Structure 1
Amino acid sequence: MVVDPLAEVVALLQPGARFSKAVVGAGAWHIRRSDAGQPFYCVVLEGGCRLVVDVHEAIELRSGDFILVPAAHGVAMSSLAPPSVLAETVPVALTSGEFRIGNQDGPTDLRMLIGHCSFASPDAALLVSLLPQLVHVRGEPRLATLVQFVRDEFREQRPAREVILARLLEVLLIEALRSAAGTAASPGLVRGLADERLAVAIRRMHESPARAWTVAQLAKEAALSRSAFFDRFNRAVGVAPMEYLLAWRMAMAKNMLRGSDGGVAEIAQRVGYGSASAFSVAFTRHVGLSPTQYAREQMEQ
């Protein structure tokens, strides 16, 4: 069976819709918001604007651009020609359901969809750490179409709305991350999978998480020397190979414990530990609770 690491991570995240809104702009404007680590996305349908996310450099967005930030804390947006005074612009709700920023009269020069999704997984922080901090995709109309579907479904009270939204957002996230594979994405799983050599080793880890992997064995799978593999993995993924493997094993273990998918000894074996005690020590160090305590807390929620 062929394992897709990216699809596995996104599926475990359990993405869901929070809100999506259409925004039109005119003239000079500037808005800023704090998102407390929420997943943020934006697609520019017409015109352009400038975007600054957290500590990243300003990005000039053009029509057809898509931005995904799996964990945004501070987001600032402005017109391409920013106002002389960076006073915060207050969006005005229109009767059409859109929001207008900047000049309230005359033709608009920007149209975009922005929104937040949520990750229902209690392990979202760990899983998000495996993804790039920022994904910028240019010229992918498929993404604009998917976001439009999300927006339409979000606004309409149709049967099975939540099921459709969950599936659409899962597809949207995978498509955005997949589209970013050939771009200068920040370090994370996407950049690792874009490297043909590293992708082989990452897939092996996901196919056989119970195997007692060593850096030397993974380097052999990637057809690289141990040192070259270690350095290349660190630069692309942002963490050491064994750190990535540990994060994935713990994400799997937590998912199994939440679903009462076997006892501690069985789960230990399935995620690569020779004994329940060795697994319990590693899990407690990583999570802050023993496997038994973690499973009990999840049942009580």
Structure 2
Amino acid sequence: MLDPLAQVVTLLKPGASLSKIVSGAGAWRVRRSVSGQPFYCAILEGGSRLSVAGHSTITLQAGDFVLIPAAYDFTMMSLEPMADDAVDTQPVEVRPRDIRLGTRDVPHDAQLLVGHCTFGSPDAALLVSLLPQLIHVRGARRLAMLVELVTEEARGQRPARDVILAHLLEVLFIEALRATATESAPAGLLRGLGDERLALAIRRMHEQPNRSWTVTQLAREAALSRSTFFERFKQALGMAPMAYLLAWRMALAKNLLRARDESMADIAQRVGYSSVSAFSVAFTRYTGLAPGRYSREKIAG
């Protein structure tokens, strides 16, 4: 059985961009605007607070892991509050990839592993839209082990460091997403997979994207009535079943078009269209580009 989370992360192609150890003491506050880059943070010691635009401020403690698939404006703060009108802290790089915040020349009371990464997929926005805006994991032993490995690799300068980090990050992403896949997750793919009934239908869509699915057939896979399935799916994922199926088919189609290992007819068939013309109409309507033009531009780019 195909794993939807693994498929999404594989298509995203996460890679290491920047990771560093941040140590803080006393009161400090750092604001960042990162234009939609993926951001992650693991609390190694002590604690801190995180404020993300559109979300309530959360308090983080040792062992916590946060992933923001597309970060824009956010603020990291010490547990000790700073006045609202106080000047934000200026980070000091004491050595490569080792940052100090707050009071100097005293032992740190908080230590974090923070990093930005890249998504190799040129269509990352489509896949990110299926994930929650903010993922916060607490008390996950397997995740803590992975964070420890990432931390060791980030601190070291050993051969093939970036290659190892890229693979560790991919596993870290999947583990963080898997730990969050519950019915209490924010609306999106993770909440859907946390619902045992809906998860059956979602996995069938991923296993057989070329099948001519209807809402009735998917409801049958989930052992729910058509109306119950439709409303439950829409509430959990934030979109209707056919909208999700279309989004997933288009993500697969884009990946296949970039590779160009198959004919247009084969690609159309693999993502559920009986003819090239039907696929072309759907793809153009969804992306604004005809499949052939999309493929040529991605190859040229």
Range of TM-score over shorter length: over 0.9
Q: Which residue of 2 aligns with 1:147?
A: 147
- For residue 93 of structure 1, report the CA deviation from its aligned partner: 1.3
Structure 1 residues 94 and 162: CA distance shift in structure 2, 3 A:
closer
- For residue 186 of structure 1, report the CA deviation from its aligned partner: 1.4
- For residue 161 of structure 1, report the CA deviation from its aligned partner: 3.6
Question: The residue matched to 1:18 in structure 2 has which SS?
Answer: strand
Paired letter, 2:66 = I
Q: Which residue of 2 aligns with 1:194?
A: 194
Distance between the aligned counterparts of 1:108 and 1:160, measured in 2? 30
Q: Which residue of 1 aligns with 2:292?
A: 292
Instruction: Map residues 56-71 of structure 1 onto 2, 5 A cutoff.
Output: 56-71=55-70
Indicate the RMSD between aligned Cα atoms, in angstroms: 1.6
Q: Structure 1: 5+ residue runs without aligned partners?
A: none
Q: Does 1:3 align with 2:2?
A: yes
Distance between the aligned counterparts of 2:78 and 2:162, measured in 1? 34
Distance between the aligned counterparts of 1:72 and 1:175, measured in 2? 19
Q: What percent identity do the matched residue pairs reach?
A: 63
CA contact (8 A) 1:17 1:154 kept: no
- For residue 240 of structure 1, report the CA deviation from its aligned partner: 1.1
Q: Which residue of 2 aligns with 1:51?
A: 50
CA contact (8 A) 1:136 1:185 kept: no
CA contact (8 A) 1:17 1:165 kept: yes
- For residue 136 of structure 1, report the CA deviation from its aligned partner: 0.5
Question: The residue matched to 2:181 in structure 1 has which SS?
Answer: helix
Structure 1 residues 149 and 105: CA distance shift in structure 2, 3 A:
same
Distance between the aligned counterparts of 2:87 and 2:17, measured in 1? 28
Q: Which residue of 2 aligns with 1:73?
A: 72
Question: The residue matched to 1:94 in structure 2 has which SS?
Answer: strand
- For residue 131 of structure 1, report the CA deviation from its aligned partner: 1.2
Query: CA deviation digits over 1:38-67, x for unaligned, max 9?
Result: 111101111111101121111011111110
Q: Which residue of 2 aligns with 1:261?
A: 261
Q: Structure 2: 5+ residue runs without aligned partners?
A: none
Distance between the aligned counterparts of 1:6 and 1:97, measured in 2? 31
Distance between the aligned counterparts of 2:24 and 2:112, measured in 1? 9
Q: Does 1:94 align with 2:94?
A: yes
CA contact (8 A) 2:20 2:154 kept: no
Distance between the aligned counterparts of 1:182 and 1:284, measured in 2? 35
Question: The residue matched to 1:67 in structure 2 has which SS?
Answer: strand
Paired letter, 2:218 = L
Distance between the aligned counterparts of 1:66 and 1:150, measured in 2? 12
CA contact (8 A) 2:25 2:101 kept: yes
Distance between the aligned counterparts of 1:299 and 1:95, measured in 2? 40
Distance between the aligned counterparts of 1:95 and 1:267, measured in 2? 50
- For residue 157 of structure 1, report the CA deviation from its aligned partner: 4.6
Moved more, 176-185 or 279-288: 176-185
CA contact (8 A) 1:18 1:115 kept: yes
CA contact (8 A) 1:45 1:144 kept: no
Paired letter, 1:152 = E
Distance between the aligned counterparts of 1:278 and 1:182, measured in 2? 36
Question: The residue matched to 1:89 in structure 2 has which SS?
Answer: coil
- For residue 256 of structure 1, report the CA deviation from its aligned partner: 0.7
- For residue 86 of structure 1, report the CA deviation from its aligned partner: 3.7
Instruction: Map residues 113-132 of structure 1 onto 2, 5 A cutoff.
Output: 113-132=113-132
Question: The residue matched to 2:144 in structure 1 has which SS?
Answer: helix
- For residue 183 of structure 1, report the CA deviation from its aligned partner: 7.1
- For residue 142 of structure 1, report the CA deviation from its aligned partner: 2.8
Query: CA deviation digits over 1:233-285, x for unaligned, max 9?
Result: 11211211111100110011111111112111111111001111110011011
Question: The residue matched to 1:131 in structure 2 has which SS?
Answer: coil
Q: Does 1:31 align with 2:21?
A: no
Distance between the aligned counterparts of 1:28 and 1:159, measured in 2? 37
Paired letter, 1:23 = V
Distance between the aligned counterparts of 1:6 and 1:270, measured in 2? 20
Question: The residue matched to 1:217 in structure 2 has which SS?
Answer: helix
Q: Does 1:244 align with 2:244?
A: yes
Distance between the aligned counterparts of 1:121 and 1:239, measured in 2? 23
Structure 1 residues 63 and 153: CA distance shift in structure 2, 3 A:
closer
Distance between the aligned counterparts of 1:183 and 1:107, measured in 2? 41
CA contact (8 A) 1:153 1:161 kept: yes
Moved more, 196-205 or 150-159: 150-159
Instruction: Map residues 209-228 of structure 1 onto 2, 5 A cutoff.
Output: 209-228=209-228
Distance between the aligned counterparts of 1:275 and 1:95, measured in 2? 59
CA contact (8 A) 2:182 2:190 kept: no
Paired letter, 1:269 = Q
Q: Does 1:167 align with 2:167?
A: yes
